[in-house]
Structure 1
Amino acid sequence: MIKKLFLFVLLFVFCSTSGFAQADFKLMFYNLLNFPLEDAVPDRLASLEFILDDYRPDIFMVCELNNEEGANTILSSLQTINPDYVSATFELNTSDDNLSNQNDLQQLIYYDSTKFILESQAIVTTIFRDFNHYKLKINSVEQETAPIVIDFFVCHLKASSGSENQASRLEMIEDLVIYLDDFPEDSNVVLAGDFNIYTDSELAFQRLIDPSNNITFIDPANRIGSWHNNPSFVDVMTQSTRTQTGLGGTTGGFDDRFDFIMTSENLSTNPDLSFISGSYDVYGNNENTNCYNQSINSTNCAGSDFSFAIRDALHNFSDHLPVILELQTNQSLSIPEFTAPKLLTILGSNVIDNTLKLEANLSLQNDLELIIFNSLGQVIKTVDVNNTLISLDVTQISSGIYYITSSRFQFKPLKFLVAH
């Protein structure tokens, strides 16, 4: 079973004297099930927005994206959550040009532009579908003197069982391995996609983890095995979320591990950038063995990690579950703090133990309501104040990152850290 590791991690440098220099990044890969053309389930977009608003990935990688309109629709939805989301340039699949040029299933990456800078993008052609390569640099204070670059690859391997399809998947992976031969051996590489692989013994998977490769991939979940129709691997299964027919996609219930985020070996030990041990997860999977061959929104798939509302949205949107992983760097992000000196100012350090002290502009002193919300956008506390000097007790608030703003006056949220 994948055990969730709940650690309090400081995400940003909050002040020059705080001594913290660290940032975490949340990755998500999701098979979108022919978005937006698949319309058997009404208002699928609302389900996706609910999912994205709950997890809020810093990097969102997708496959089965039908067209540029769908790509822009998802970007608009992301930007309602965080206006700093952007995407790479949408590109039609080129690898099927000799197979009638269908161009119906593409990959793409979205990212928080305050945390990453897109350096370049490229296509690795295969016999069937492209690998999309996105080179992103962390937007850190040290980016000029010690840049950290991550090469993201997003893919969708040939589907279905049988020797012919296995051979196609192997050939596609061979094209990727050859492409990576020219990379520096210490490259930071993330490979995410719908692999459609049924067992670790399949040659395509073995080629990925071959130690003789220039870039050898590892499974951050550390759950390599024969996944197909094996209840002992239910914790890493991603497909199918459904038993009901007529919704589009595959039915049959939860019985396959098709979706992966893998990394180059160095990301397990690199002090500059590594994945957080225990952070790999299948979003929506409560690791309940009763969920095997069941619909993800059934009571058989209940658990403490993912609510019915989340699992129902996942069920309605796609026949796959997303996979997630967190990366961590020892560098500090080059993100300007949100400050509004003319309206509301944090007095002293914004690393708080017991009391948050604020100073409000005179124009705000009458009928001022302050709202404190967490990094998930959940309102934690509201306070009515009538003074320009404000002291807020935060002893009952858990350690973490918070923002403060007002519903009655327009200013950007101020960020502070509660560290008991």
Structure 2
Amino acid sequence: MQEQPSLLTRICIASLLLLPLAIVPDALGQLRISSYNIAHFNGDQDAFRHVLEALHSDDIIGFSQPCDIMIFQEVREENIVDLQANIDAAAPRGIVYTMATFTSGGGEDFAGGGQAYFYRSDRIAEIPTSHLDISTGANRDTDRWLFRMLAYSSTDAYFFIYSSHLKAGTGSSNEADRNDGVNLVRNNADALPAGSNIIYVGDMNFYSNNEDGYQAFIAAGGQGQAIDPYGTGSWGGSSNAIKHTQSPRDVSGGGLIGGGCDDRFDFHMPNIKMFDGNGLSMIDGSCRAVGNDGVHYDDAINDGTNTYLSNTAESNALADALFQASDHLPVLVEYQVPAVMTAFAPSDFGRVIVGAEHFVDVYVKNIAEHVDPIGVDELEFTATGQDGITGSLSSTAPLDPDFVIVQLPVDTSASALVNGTVQLQATSEATQNSEWSLSVAGEVLDHAVPSFSGKREITMLESVISIEPGDLGLFKIPIHNFQYDMLQAELDVISIEGLAGFFYSAAPLPTGIDDSPGTLQIGFDSDGLPDGEYSITVDVNVSDEPLPGAGQGQLQLDLVVNVGSAGCPFDLDSSGVVDGADLALFLGQWNQDGSADFSGNGVVDGEDLAMLLGAWGSGC
């Protein structure tokens, strides 16, 4: 039967798993990414800060967390200082944002403006040598950045972000410019190292899903194929109002465009690899235009009551801020992060006996930090035993504080000192600590070998004593664990079957017999008995020490008591006296088992000779 760990063992192990492990770095929590066209910072800065604060606190998908990445379009060089100041002012307490590589050279600063990227440097790091400007026409560049997640060592936790502000305007010429720009971006993305994580954000200025530029983004073929989280159908009309991002204003003024919220210009699209649910991946259903409640089609976002947030007053205040801050709505998206594996197994599985069904319990859990469980990839892994630990099992580990127990068999086919290993290999993409090795030791013991002799295995024995009438007789029978060594179980005597009449157990049964024999003591009470020979056959039941795989055995013992003149065991020739004739018979049995084994140790030896000489010349 498979053994289960005791409650105390489970509590201790669970406590150990709750302790922080020095070799496990703080895991990176799930990612929140925003993208926002700030219209050259022509809006009200107090309103802008209000919007930034709302990006951090937005909880309409069930949870909130500070933004990890904030990307802005239409940013001029002169806006950077004020932009950083507003980001810092709106940041949750203790959180600092760093600006990534920023470029707005050539005519870009005086046309559409550049792309600015701010990130939490305690969680994410830029690889600045991979920054690239891709000219997409009309004095506009798409910026490409490469980032890595600090708590993960796998390159599958690196990701590229392309931020674009494509040519605005209707008509075939503007559409062609946008299409040319997208093809340049796609060509660059398709040429990245195989398996790259890619995100496209920005103000794309697509008027419909039929535009060639949009179709170029989502075209199959190449790793750069974009996945539109809203699907590839039409986004036009009031039935799709929830997707629209321009304009939150119904009137133009102060450098901000009006016209009402009826266009979807602002996009956030990952490539296939970042939308497959594995490792670093967009959380399906998390993409939203912040402040858009879906009922302000072709209208100002703050006209009447806004119901984007559950708190109407807060929602109306946010709508007012969006109206004043820019002529676009920000797009907010959540990403799950890869798993982080930790594992534990008892370093010593103890002592078991050959043939036992015994297992090593391996405890595994996913300790990735998260705001909500949906923000962490599941942890799939395989555990494989080596060097005395056998088998290979696959499982899925839950998030901390829960854990899964995987049981791997111990090889108990032969006795051995086991110094085994459990190798864990995570199969979930980009898992931190994806390889884990646990050392497990223990002992596999041979069964005990019960014997009446320490020199050879003897399982049947006759023992004879002589006493005077009325005396108490005592058999002292040595019980050996034959050829005992460190890889053999100890021996326990567990019962004596067949004792009856005047025979009785005279002492506790011996247990823990190793290389020193135990003594089985059986008494005989002759009170009131006439002279004569009294005998009984008993079974001595023995077992291995109480370990997994323990077996049982049996020894047979014939007990003979001569009371009074019934005879003497030392008078081997029954002449009535112990003399030279008895000595000759004794020596003929030397180093063998026979009637001259007075001590009952299974062999005729010096101990028996001493007993014979002690009775010399007597009639016993």
Per the normalisation by structure 1, the TM-score is 0.67
Note the alpha carbon deviations across 1:332-384, whole angstroms, 9 max, x for none. Answer: 59xxxxxxxxxxxxxxxxx9xxxxxxxxxxxxxxxxxxxxxx99xxxxxxxxx
Q: CA separation in 2, counterparts of 1:50 and 1:197? A: 28
The one-letter code sitting in structure 1 at the alignment partner of 2:260 is G
1:134 is the counterpart of 2:138: no
Q: CA deviation at 1:34?
A: 1.5
Match of 2:315 among 294, 307, 313: 307
Superposed, which structure 2 residues align to 1:95-106 within 5 Å?
96=107, 102=110, 105-106=113-114
The answer on whether the counterparts of 1:34 and 1:65 sit within 8 Å (CA) in structure 2 is yes
Larger displacement relative to structure 2 (270-279 or 20-29): 20-29
Do the aligned residues in 2 keep the contact of 1:32 with 1:64 (CA within 8 Å)?
yes
Question: In the alignment, does 2:326 pair up with 1:318?
Answer: yes
- Residues 170-212 of structure 1 show CA distances to partners (whole Å, capped at 9, x for unaligned) of 0111111121232133211011000100111110000011112
**Counterparts of residues 180-329 of structure 1 (less than 5 Å):** 180-222=189-231, 224-228=232-236, 230-288=237-295, 291-299=296-304, 301-305=306-310, 307-329=315-337
Stretch deviating more after TM superposition (82-91 or 257-266): 82-91
Residues matched between the structures, number: 306
Q: C-alpha distance in 2, partners of 1:254/1:168?
A: 24
Asked if residue 16 in structure 1 is aligned to residue 27 in structure 2, the reply is no
Structure 1 residue aligned with 2:53? 53
Any conservation in 2 of the 1:197–1:257 contact (CA below 8 Å)? yes
1:115: which partner in 2?
A: 123
Deviations 1:132-169 (A, max 9, x none): 011010011x32x5561110111101001111100000
Q: Whole-Å Cα distance in 1 between the matches of residues 245 and 18 of structure 2?
A: 37
> Secondary structure of the equivalent of 1:109?
strand
Stretches of structure 2 that go unaligned for 5 or more consecutive residues are 1-16, 57-66, 342-366, 373-620
SS at match of 1:294: coil
Could you tell me the percent identity over the aligned residues? 27
| Counterparts in 2 of 1:220 and 1:119: CA distance versus 1, 3 Å | same
| 1:192 counterpart letter in structure 2 | V
Match for 1:30 among 19, 36, 44?
36
Name the CA distance, whole Å, in 2 between partners of 1:327 and 1:235: 21
CA displacement at 1:263 relative to structure 2: 0.3
Aligned-pair CA distance for 1:287:
2.0
Aligned to 1:293, the other structure's residue is in SS state: coil
Distance in structure 1 (CA, Å) of the matches to 2:211 and 2:156: 37
For 1:79, the aligned partner's letter is D
SS of the residue aligned with 1:152? strand
2:480 maps to none
Corresponding residue number in structure 2 for 1:170: 179
Structure exhibiting the larger radius of gyration computed from Cα positions:
2
Give the Cα–Cα distance (whole angstroms) in 2 for the partners of residues 179 and 287 of structure 1. 35
Cα distance in 2 between the residues matched to 1:280 and 1:126:
25
Is the 1:238–1:321 contact (alpha carbons within 8 Å) kept by the matching residues of 2?
A: yes
> Any idea what SS the aligned residue of 1:191 has?
strand
State the AA in 2 paired with 1:266.
Answer: K
- Are the counterparts in 1 of residues 196 and 223 from structure 2 also a CA contact under 8 Å? no
Letter of the 1:25 counterpart: L
* 1:87 has 2:99 as partner: yes
CA distance 1:117–1:21, shift in 2 (3 Å)? closer
Asked if the contact 1:294/1:300 (under 8 Å) is kept, the reply is no
Q: CA RMSD in A?
A: 2.7
Quick one: which amino acid aligns to residue 114 of structure 1?
D
Aligned to 2:127, the other structure's residue is in SS state: strand
- Give the deviation of 1:269 after TM superposition: 1.6
TM-score by length of 2: 0.46
One-letter code aligned to 1:16 = P
Q: 1:77 aligns with which of 75, 81, 86?
A: 86
